[in-house]
Amino acid sequence: MNPYCKSRFQSFRRLTREVRVGSIGVGKDNPVRLQSMTTTPTQDVDATVEQSIRLVEAGCEIVRITAQNVKAAEALKDISKKLRDAKINVPLAADIHFLPQAAMVAVEHVDKVRINPGNYADKKKFAVKEYTDKQYDDELLRLHESFSPLVKRCKELGKSIRIGTNHGSLSDRIMNRYGDSPLGMAESALEFIRIAESHSFKDIILSMKSSNPKVMIQAYRLVVAKMDAEKMNYPLHLGVTEAGDGEDARIKSSIGIGSLLFDGLGDTIRVSLTEDPVYEIPVAKDLADKAMTLWNRDIGNPPSEKFSDSIDPYSFNRRIINEFKIGEDISLSSHQPPAVVVSVKSLDDNQSELADAIIAASKKLIDSKIEGIIISHKENISVSNLNNIYDAISFLIVEITSETKLSKINFEKFKLSSTIFLLGSRDWVRDENSLLNITKIKNIKLALEIFPDEMIKQDTFFKSLDSSKIIYTLSNPDNNSHPMGSYRSLAENLKQLNILSPIWIRNTNSNAISIKDHFGDRLLEASILTGSLLCDGIGDMISIETEPDLARATTLAYNILQGARARVSKTEYVACPSCGRTLFDLQSTTQRIREYTNHLKGVTIAVMGCIVNGPGEMADADFGYVGGAPGKINLYVGKNCVRFNIPENEAVDQLINLIKEEGKWVEEP
C-alpha cells in the first residue's frame, strides 16, 4: 500500500487541494483551522447565536450546528442571519445524520454540510447479512440516488461537504463486508467521494473519527493511502470523537490528533470535550501551533532516506523484545504493559526527603504506583541511604553524566538487581571498552542514551552487547526529525541489527516542540510523543520528566498509557461532547456516573446524549447510558439495549444495578 505520509522521520505537511468553507480556505497552505460545535438546541436560535459568538471570540474558525430534523435545519436560516447582522462572518456547518431532506434544507443557509456515510441514506440495524457483489452494487446505486441531490445543490451554491465517517456508526453493509474496522471506515468514505466525483464535485473534506485513538489513527492513515492511490488529495478534519472530559479527553485527543499532525496530516481540527465547547478552542490551538511549528522547521529539507520503516502503520503490532528483568517484581517484555518511572533528580541530595516525597505521592495513587525513579549519581550514595527508597518503589535508575568518570563509580555497592544505570552522555557510547567491561559485571543493567545514527556506525559493537541487560533511549532528537521520528528511527535500527532490547520513551524539555510552563502544555507534549509511539507498538518504559510534581507526573503517565490502550489502571469513560441533539445534561450526568464508578478498574462506560452515535461508539464499552427520549434513558450491555425508557432520575442507580448484575461491580476500597 502507498505510504500515508512523505516521511515518518521528518514532518512534512501533506499537500491537499484547497476547499473553501465560506470565507476561509481549508487545506493547501492555509493554517490548520480550528472548529467546534454548539451544544444548545438548534431551534433555540438566540442561545445558539450567543454560543456561536462566544466560540468565535475564543478563536473558533468554523462553527458546526446540528440539524437533526427539518425544523432544526430551518432554524439555521435565522441563526445565520442574526450572526451576519452582528457582523459575525464565521463559516457555519450543518451536522446531518439520518435525514437527507434536512440536509437539503440546511445547505441553503450554511457554508458546509457534514454527512455521516454510515447513516445518511444507509442502514444501521445491526443486521447480519452476506451481500453478493450484485446486492452490494445495488446498494451503492441506491446511495448514488440518495446522495446526488445534495452534491448537485452544493455544486450549484458553491458549498462544501464534509464526509464524516464515525467508527461507531458504520452501516450494516460496510460492517458485513469489512467489519468494524479502520478499513471499513476508509471504504465507507471513499464510496461517497466517488459519488461526488461522478458529478465533478470536489469541494470535499474528510474525517475518520473514533473514540479509540488507535483506531482513529489507523483509519486516517488508510484513507490517505487509498486516496493517494486514486489520485485524490482532499483535506482532512481531525478529531477523536466521544473523548469525554477533563484530563483524559485532552490526552486522547492529543494522541490521535497530534500523532497525525506531526506526520503532516490534518487541515482542520476539533477537540471534542464533554464541557463548555469554548474550552475546546485553546487545546486545539495549542495542537495546531505545535504542528505548524514542526512543519515550518522542515520546510526545504528533503525527506530523509537513511531509514527504512518496517512498522505496518495500518494495523497494531507491538514491537517484540527480549525479557528485561528489573528486580524480582518488574520485567519489561512484549507481553507486559510498559513500566512507569518519574524523575526526582531535584530531591536526590537528601535521601530522607526523597523517600518522604515518594511515600507522600504514593498515598495519592491507588492503581498507579510509582514503579521506578531517576536520580543523579552522587559519589556518596550508598545502599544504606537508599534502603527506605527501595521500600517505596520497585527499581531505581541512576543517571551518570559526562562529568562523572567511570573509574569512580562503585557499581557493586547498589542493589544491582533492581538498579539501572543510565549513561546520560554520548561519550559513554563511544567508549566501547568501558561499556563492555561494565556489562560483564554480574547483574548489571544499563540504559543507553544514544542517537539512532550511532547504532549503524557501531553496528558490530551494539550487536555484541547482551540485549537482556540493555534498554535504549534517546539523546536530544536530531534537528531533522520530529520527536516520534527519532524514536521510530531507533526502533528501526534495533530491528535492522536484530537487537531485541526494550525502548524507554522519555519526555524531556529537549524533545518538546514548544514547551510552556504549565501543566496543560506538558500534558499535550507528553501525550503526543508517548501516546503516538505506543499506538505504533513502540515503548516498554515511559517517563514524564517535564512535570516536577511526582504524583501528577505518575498519574499523567498512567493516563497516557490508558488513552493509548497500552495499560488499564482505572475506569474508562466514553462520553460525547454534547450538541443540540442531546437529551439530558451530559456534563453533570457524566460527573455523577464517574463519582459512583471511578473505582471500577478495567470497566468501560459510555455516556451518550442520543442514539445517533450511541450504540455504535459503544463498540468498546462494557456498559452504555444513552438518551432515548426527552427525560428517558436506555441502558446497554455492549451493543445490546437491555433496559428502555428509564426515567432520568432513576437511570444512574439502574446503571449501577446493571453493572452488579453483570458481575463487574466491586466495592470501593
Band of residue 418 on the pLDDT scale cut at 50, 70, 90: confident
Q: Does position 513 have pLDDT exceeding 80, yes or no?
A: no
For residue 477, the model assigns a pLDDT of 58
Q: What is the DSSP string of 418-439?
A: GEEEEE-SHHHHH-HHHHHHHH
Average pLDDT, the chain: 87
CA distances, 475 to each of 51, 295, 430 (Å): 46, 22, 13
Mean pLDDT on 281-291: 95
Query: pLDDT tens digit string along 518-540?
Result: 888 999 999 999 999 999 999 99
Q: Does position 613 have pLDDT exceeding 60, yes or no?
A: no
For residue 17, the model assigns a pLDDT of 98
Q: Does position 417 have pLDDT exceeding 90, yes or no?
A: no
For residue 532, the model assigns a pLDDT of 96
Output helix, strand, coil percentages for the chain, rounded to the nearest 5: 40, 20, 40
Mean pLDDT on 485-513: 90
Length of the chain as a residue count:
669
Four-residue CA torsion sign, 179, 180, 183, 189: positive
CA distance 84 to 79: 9
For residue 392, the model assigns a pLDDT of 74
Q: Does position 367 have pLDDT exceeding 80, yes or no?
A: no
Grid cell at residue 638: 455492549
For residue 624, the model assigns a pLDDT of 87
In this predicted model, which residue has the larger pLDDT, 435 or 407? 435
Tell me if 664 sits within 8 A of 655, measured CB to CB: no
Query: Which of 76-80, 304-308, 653-657 holds the top average pLDDT?
Result: 76-80
Q: Does position 478 have pLDDT exceeding 60, yes or no?
A: no
Tell me if 630 sits within 8 A of 598, measured CB to CB: no
For residue 570, the model assigns a pLDDT of 83
Mean pLDDT on 392-404: 79
Q: Residue 633, SS3?
A: strand
Please choose, from the candidates 145, 137, 231, the residue with its C-alpha nearest in 3D space to the C-alpha of residue 195.
145
For residue 153, the model assigns a pLDDT of 98
Residues with Cβ < 8 Å from 10, sequence gap 6 or more? Answer: 298, 301, 303, 304, 480, 481, 482, 485
Query: pLDDT tens digit string along 559-605?
Result: 999 999 999 888 888 776 666 566 667 778 888 998 899 888 888 88
Q: Residue 365, SS3?
A: coil
In the chain, the domains with their CATH numbers are 30-297 (3.20.20.20), 324-506 (3.20.20.70), 572-661 (3.30.413.10)
CA distance 102 to 95: 10
SS (H, E, C) 259-270: HHHHCCCCCEEC
For residue 498, the model assigns a pLDDT of 93
Q: Poorest-confidence range of 128-132, 155-159, 324-328, 507-511?
A: 128-132
- First-last CA distance in the chain: 50
Query: pLDDT tens digit string along 293-342?
Result: 989 886 667 666 555 688 899 999 999 999 999 877 889 999 999 999 99
For residue 270, the model assigns a pLDDT of 96
Q: Residue 517, SS3?
A: coil
Tell me if 525 sits within 8 A of 503, measured CB to CB: no
pLDDT above 70 coverage of the chain, percent: 87
Q: Residue 83, SS3?
A: helix
Q: Poorest-confidence range of 50-59, 158-167, 474-483, 594-603?
A: 474-483
For residue 582, the model assigns a pLDDT of 63
CA distance 631 to 645: 8
Query: pLDDT tens digit string along 229-242?
Result: 999 999 999 999 87
For residue 119, the model assigns a pLDDT of 84
For residue 66, the model assigns a pLDDT of 93
For residue 434, the one-letter residue type is: S
Residues with Cβ < 8 Å from 573, sequence gap 6 or more? Answer: 244, 248, 590, 593, 594, 604, 605, 606, 607
Query: pLDDT tens digit string along 625-639?
Result: 888 778 888 898 887
Report the run of H or E that residue 632 belongs to, with start and end.
strand 632-637
Q: Does position 161 have pLDDT exceeding 90, yes or no?
A: yes
* Backbone dihedral angles phi then psi of residue 523, each to the nearest 5 degrees: -60, -45
Give the chain's largest Cα–Cα span. 80
For residue 573, the model assigns a pLDDT of 82
Mean pLDDT on 132-159: 93
CA distance 25 to 18: 6
Mean pLDDT on 382-409: 72
For residue 455, the model assigns a pLDDT of 82
Grid cell at residue 177: 463486508
Query: pLDDT tens digit string along 204-217?
Result: 999 999 989 999 99
Q: Does position 620 have pLDDT exceeding 90, yes or no?
A: no
For residue 351, the model assigns a pLDDT of 63
